[in-house]
Amino acid sequence: MKIENSLSAPPHPDAPSQAGLHFTVATEEDFDEIMAMSQHIYGGLDYLPTRYAAWMQETNRTVVLARKQGKVIALESVCVIDDGETMLVEGLRVAPPERGRGVAGELLRFCSQLTKAKYPEVKVSRLTRDDQLGPKDFQKYRLITKQGILLVRFRAEDLKLRLAQLGPDGSELSSTSSTSPPPPPPPPVHLDSAAVHRLYLSTDLLRDVLPNVTIVQDWQPYKLLPSNMDILLKKDIDWVVDDEEAPTVASLCTFPIRVPIGEDWYYLNIDMFGKDLRLVRQQYLGHLRRHTASLKGHVMCQIFLDPALWKPMVELCRKVLQVELVKEYTEQCVVEADVV
Ligand SMILES: CC(C)(COP(=O)(O)OP(=O)(O)OC[C@H]1O[C@@H](n2cnc3c(N)ncnc32)[C@H](O)[C@@H]1OP(=O)(O)O)[C@@H](O)C(=O)NCCC(=O)NCCS
């Protein structure tokens, strides 16, 4: 199906009556209008300003706008992944004065129909949410996997000073304790693209490490497929495991991006898989060292991890790293619904 700039689809029988909504495919020229209605969303961690231009170039992605009287009031992006079987919904947002009137529901249904018409092989729709899901949501969605969210903030310069006082496992270098601490685990391994391919695709070694055999990278859930690896390996990601032959913990650190909280604010995203606290601590500290070294200014660092590790990792953040916890425990849920 050819996608025109102005889109129309048959109204869904269950669609709430939302008079006057008009759908268009977003273009580079829409950027300022989209940003104007996106202020303060995602707690300031909106990735759209940084990623919008790249999104416009991705051939497997369609960004759809809902307009009312010509004005942009909502956005949703749909990206087709998993060998064409999954439509991934991202970036969903509705202008604050228009919320609570079913605009998101209408846009979601529209994009679903549009994607199914363009890619008939699409079977499911997936999205990642961090709000509290209720029984009504679980009538619509299956839960694929969930991770705990730990969000901290710090000044890069302060963290660098603190990290210089710590060993790779977070122990104090100047400790005067008479009992010697256990030796740190061997250093983690940074994977190149050949090693990523080998470990994630040619072996079963990570199947038990990844939650529901899913790589969730910066909110995007991917099945272990060569086509997805091609997408992932084009991104700026630091791939790490504790042991290439027998991995227990794997992590993906997405390189820092600027976020619209203020001047010199960055967002650092770390997706951590595995349940061994010592190894998780070690990889977390390694990513912080490596990816904040050249930053100047404020950093919001979000780590997604096994829910049981949230509390001990908060201890590490507060007591050892002396960084500020931004919010209490929340969850990142990957959910899925059939596209009919
Ligand atoms: C979340 C948001 C998009 C909802 O928009 P809205 O038009 O007010 O949505 P409504 O409350 O009218 O709910 C309409 C539908 O969207 C669904 N919905 C609500 N929040 C959703 C979310 N985060 N992801 C997907 N669907 C959501 C509702 O379940 C409802 O579905 P239904 O029509 O099938 O019953 C809007 O509040 C917003 O822009 N928030 C800030 C950005 C944000 O948090 N986006 C979510 C990213 S996961």
Cα separation values, 200 from 31, 235, 278, Å: 36, 16, 22
Using CB atoms within 10 Å of the CB of residue 1, give its burial: 0 to 12 exposed, 13 to 18 middle, 19+ buried. Answer: exposed
Which residue CA neighbors atom 44 of ligand 1 most closely?
42
**11-62 residue pLDDT tens:** 454 444 455 799 999 999 999 999 999 988 888 889 999 999 999 999 999 9
> The pTM is what?
0.91
In which residue ranges of the chain is CATH 3.40.630.30 found?
6-122
- Give the pairing type, strands 220-223 and 324-325: unpaired
The CATH homologous superfamily to which domain 6-122 belongs is: Gcn5-related N-acetyltransferase (GNAT) (3.40.630.30)
Q: Chain centroid to CA 313: how far? A: 19
Dist. CA 285–CA 242, nearest whole Å: 13
Please give the number of the atom of ligand 1 that sits closest to the Cα of 136: 29
Fold for the domain defined by 146-334: Aminopeptidase (3.40.630)
Closest alpha carbon to 294 in 266, 324, 326, 261: 266
Helices and strands (H, E) in the chain, number of each type: 9, 16
Contact 107, 68 (CB under 8 A): no
Residue 117: CA count within 13 A, CB half-sphere: 14
Distance 108 CA to ligand 1 centre (A): 9
Residues 47-105 have pLDDT tens digits of 999 999 999 999 999 999 999 999 999 999 999 999 999 999 999 999 999 999 999 99
- Answer for the pair 146, 333: CB distance below 8 angstroms, yes or no: yes
Q: What is the pLDDT of residue 8?
A: 61
68 within ligand 1 shell (Cβ under 6 A): no
Measure 15 CA to ligand 1 centroid, in angstroms: 14
From the CB of 15, is ligand 1 less than 6 Å away? no
**Burial category of 84 from C-beta neighbours within 10 Å (exposed 0-12, middle 13-18, buried 19 and up):** middle
Q: Does 151 contact ligand 1 (Cβ within 6 A)?
A: no
Helices (H), 58-152: 103-118, 135-140
pLDDT for 179 equals 73
Q: What is the DSSP letter of 286?
A: H
Percent of the chain past pLDDT 70, that is, above it, reads 93
